[in-house]
Chain A
Amino acid sequence: MLSMRNIQKVYRTDLIETHALHDFSIDVKTGEFVAIMGRSGSGKTTFLNVAGLLDTFDSGTYHLDGEDVSRLSDAQMSRIRNRKIGFVFQSFNLIPDLDVFDNIDVPLRYRRLPAKERKERVEQAAGTVGLSARLHHLPSQLSGGQQQRVAVARVLAGDPRLILADEPTGNLDTMMSREVMDLLERINGGGTTIVMVTHAPECAARASRRIHLLDGGLVDLDAPAPGRLPERDVAALSATLA
């Protein structure tokens, strides 16, 4: 699904060069649920931005869903983001002026789908995340967990091949986090590939594979797990990353 080879990403200022991704390579198979972990500044978000075609890279190759996306135009990248990738952000990133319906509808509009189909998709996605009754609420009228569910519904409506989640539970309490992780697990169960950046070991534990980033490189790669990490190992993992 996602294959990066020798990716270099350097942020430059007049005085300093920062190697955000250094000779970075990774393969994520279709249907995998991968957790990316690492300390702040380790390159997790840069990786996610590059993977989501939100940022460019300096060298290396990147294949997404079998297509070389290393050197695409803005319009081509936008099209791929719109059709193949769904984003879930830590701070939900809903548009405050738009109600739930319109927020879920945003990516579908950029896909130029007919109104009837958009309506069906929005209502179905809202139903999946349990927000059918709140379609005309503004984000400010929803709790944090509900807002994140709207963000997940926005992804679901677009039916992407890959979901990139950047600390999706970072702003949520334990119960809400569990709800959102349940949702992501269900989506992954349907065959959608998920790559999730997280600091939370209990969230990482629910992924099928965990990757540890350090200073822009891949330093720790779990073997693909046949199942989820046993509960007893979560504490040990937390201790490792602390």
Chain B
Amino acid sequence: MFLHNLRIAWKSLRRNALLTALIISGIALGIGTSTTFAAVRHAFARHPIPEKSDVLHYVRLDSWDPLKPYPGDDPTRPPTQLTYRDAVGVMQSRIPARQSAMFKTNQYVYPDPKVGRPFRETIRMCFADFFPMFDIPFRYGSGWDRKADLGPEPVVVLSTTMNDKLFGGVNSVGKTVRIAGRDFRVVGVLADWNPNVKFYDLTQNAIGTPEEIFLPFHFVQPMQLRTAGNSDGWGTSGGLSGFEGLLQSETCWIQMWVELPNRPAVDQYRDFLAAYVLDQKKHGRFPRPLNNRLSTVKEWMDDQNVVPKQANTMLIVSLLFLAVCAVNLVGLLLGKFLARAPEISVRRALGASRADIFLQHIVECEVIGVIGGVLGLLLSLAGLAGLNAWLKATATRSDFFQLDGPMVLLAVGLSLAAGLAAGLYPAWRTCRIAPAIHLKVQ
């Protein structure tokens, strides 16, 4: 019967092509708009590393000024980053399965003169655990080992793009890259890795692309590296000036991630952080009340408002627009269905129950919904392509907005819901047609 109803629906849609096109266009416009904005929101809100949702934690300690809270709309919030001293301090813990303090810096890279001229590049300084902790895939070689962190050993990991740029894409493991006047040995080249949100450093441009070069964190001192990201500070640096003063100051500029495999490890690490801060208090630091935070990736994204308020607003507006489209179609469908009263009456006379007639028309509405949904998806693809083109110019990436599986499923669901919403009342009215009136006059 379902296939029969599909056939009837198809014939009905072909009967009045113009009206059908109008109805389907209405649905398509609504689906296209709502799916586009749902995909926009989804691009920001999608979990960038769901397989480690519960084990990765971002670390914050409240080392801020006792006289005024850390800037922001929530006075109870601790600074978003750690001081250098604290980053090095908490890295001493043996509780996390993996951990890495990190920051980004801008340095000159000196390629082979035959390849190109020196250029300035953003480099991420991190620990060996950075790569396995975030499940970063490698094309050639691997990350460095923990021993290289301590030296630090002059090793470097390149992105695929940087490897293409410096070495023409060949396996460069073992080759040398000169950065800021020092030679670094390539130990690994990343495979394509471009999480939708740069979750490991949300302090600037959350949708930026990952860095192209990764160096051991501890080169910060010998190379006197400063952050290319945000830094917030207060107070003095204990009489020290220059780079040493920065390292000893209360300036917060280091991000800190830990991998805690289970609940006991989380509790244990919380205790460790509390003990660390209480110990620092004895040395006159951490004047504010104990306020350490361990946030999962999702919590950290929420805290940093990765999903723009406008994305939420536009999604709501677009869903309302879809609802308006569906409501407008109620009238068109009602007219279309009631014009078919004689045929409905014949079907009723031949044994169709009200339920049969209702179902027949709901199937027709859903066919309209699905066709409208497919066209809406195409509209949405075009819209997202436009947004990606705009984003490429502003954020140097062109793959941020995508129609992935969940978004396609959402579009299908919205299409079916819109078809149902638009068709429910007309189908109900149609199945209530009194057959006797129309049989004589057909």
A75 close to B350 (CB less than 8 A): no
CB–CB A97/B11 < 8 A: yes
Please state if B343 and A95 are interface contacts (CB–CB under 8 Å): yes
Chain B residues closer than 8 Å to A89, beta-carbon distance: 439-440, 442
Given contacts A54-B435, A93-B439, contact A111 B349 (CB under 8 A): no
- How many of chain B's residues have a CB under 8 angstroms from any CB in A? 27
**Closest chain B CB from A53 CB (angstroms):** 9
Number of A-B contacts (CB under 8 A): 79
Give min CB distance, B207 to chain A, whole Å.
52
Q: Which of B23-31, B251-259, B292-300, B352-360 contacts A (4 or more CB under 8 A)?
A: B352-360
A110 contacts B352, C-beta separation under 8 Å: yes
The answer to whether A95 touches B351 (Cβ under 8 A) is no
Verify if B393 is at the interface (C-beta below 8 Å from A). no
In the assembled complex, B15 has its CB within 8 A of some CB on chain A:
yes
Min CB–CB distance B434 → chain A (angstroms): 7
- Once the chains bind, are A87 and B349 in contact (CB under 8 Å)? yes
Query: A115 CA to B1 CA in the complex, in Å?
Result: 11
User: In chain B between 123 and 181, which residues have their CB closer than 8 angstroms to a CB of chain A?
Assistant: none
Least Cβ–Cβ distance between B367 and chain A, in angstroms:
15
B residues 398-442 with Cβ under 8 Å of A? 434-436, 439-442
Count chain B CB atoms within 10 A of each CB in A74, A78, A96, A112 and give the residue with the most.
Answer: A78
Check A83–B442 contact: CB distance below 8 A. Answer: no
B349 touching A81 by the CB < 8 A rule?
yes
Contact, CB under 8 Å: B440 / A45: yes
B342 at interface, CB cutoff 8 A: yes
B346 interfacial contact with A, CB 8 Å:
yes
How far, in angstroms, from A166 to B356 measured CA to CA in the complex? Answer: 25
Query: Who on chain B is nearest to A54 by CB?
Result: B436
Tell me if A107 is interfacial: C-beta within 8 Å of chain B. yes
- Of all chain B residues, which has the CB nearest A74? B354
- CB neighbors of A among B1-33 (8 A): 1, 4, 8, 11-12, 15
Contact at B4–A166, with CB atoms within 8 Å?
A: no
Q: How far is the CA of A122 from the CA of B125 in the complex (A)?
A: 80
* Nearest CB of chain B from residue A64's CB, rounded to whole Å: 14
Question: In chain A, residues 65-104, which have Cβ atoms closer than 8 Å to a Cβ of chain B?
Answer: 74-75, 78-79, 81-83, 87, 89-91, 93-98
Return chain A residues, CB-CB under 8 Å to B47: none
Q: A93 and B442: CB pair below 8 A?
A: yes
Name the B residues within 8 Å of A54 (CB-CB): 348-349, 435-436, 439
Q: Is the CB of A95 within 8 A of B346?
A: yes
Cα of A197 to Cα of B352 in the assembled complex, Å = 23
In the bound complex, how far is the Cα of B348 from the Cα of A52, in angstroms? Answer: 11
Query: Contact: B1 with A78, CB < 8 Å?
Result: no
In the bound complex, residues from chain B placing their C-beta under 8 Å from that of A111 are 351
Looking at the complex, which one of B348, B436, B439, B440 makes contact with A78 (CB distance below 8 Å)?
A: B348
Any A CB within 8 A of the CB of B347: yes
Return chain B residues, CB-CB under 8 Å to A188: none
Residues of A within 8 A of B439 (CB): 49, 54, 87, 89, 93, 166
Q: Cβ of B351 and Cβ of A82 under 8 Å apart?
A: yes
Chain A contacts for B349, CB-based, 8 A: 52, 54, 81, 87, 93
Q: How far is it, in angstroms, between the C-alpha of A100 and the C-alpha of B183 when the chains are bound?
A: 86
Q: Assess the A78–B442 pair: CB atoms within 8 A.
A: no
Q: How far is the CA of A179 from the CA of B11 in the complex (A)?
A: 32
* The one of A52, A75, A96, A98 that contacts B355, using a Cβ cutoff of 8 Å: A75
Q: Are A112 and B436 in contact (CB under 8 A)?
A: no
Q: How far is the CB of B349 from the nearest CB of chain A, in Å?
A: 5
Is the Cβ of B352 less than 8 Å from the Cβ of A78?
yes
The reply on A106 being an interface residue by CB < 8 A is: yes
B274: min CB distance to chain A, Å: 70
Chain A residue numbers with a CB within 8 Å of B355 are 75
A97 CA to B340 CA, complexed, in Å? 12
**Whole-angstrom CA separation of A90 from B346 in the bound complex:** 12
A93 close to B354 (CB less than 8 A):
no
Smallest CB gap from A80: residue in B: B351
B437 CB to nearest chain A CB (Å): 9
Residue A220, interface by CB 8 Å: no
CA distance A175 to B148 in the complex (A): 105
- Residue A137 interfacial (CB < 8 Å): no
Contact between B356 and A97, CB atoms less than 8 A apart = no
Inter-chain contacts of B354 with A (CB < 8 A): 74-75, 78
Asked if A97 and B4 make an inter-chain contact with CB atoms under 8 angstroms apart, the answer reads no
A155-189 residues at the B interface, CB under 8 angstroms: 158, 166
Contact A81 B442 (CB under 8 A): no
When chains A and B are docked, how far (Å) is the Cα of A174 from the Cα of B37? 67
A→B interface (CB under 8 Å): 45, 49, 52, 54-55, 74-75, 78-79, 81-83, 87, 89-91, 93-98, 106-107, 109-112, 154, 158, 166
**Additional A-B contacts beyond A87-B350, A106-B346 (8; CB < 8 A):** A49-B436, A49-B439, A54-B436, A82-B350, A91-B442, A96-B343, A97-B8, A110-B352
By Cβ-Cβ distance, the 7 closest A-B pairs, closest first, are: A82-B351, A78-B353, A49-B436, A110-B351, A107-B350, A55-B436, A54-B436
- Some 17 contacts from A to B, beta carbons below 8 A apart, are A49-B439, A54-B349, A54-B439, A75-B354, A78-B351, A78-B352, A78-B354, A79-B353, A81-B351, A82-B350, A82-B351, A95-B343, A95-B347, A97-B8, A106-B346, A166-B439, A166-B440
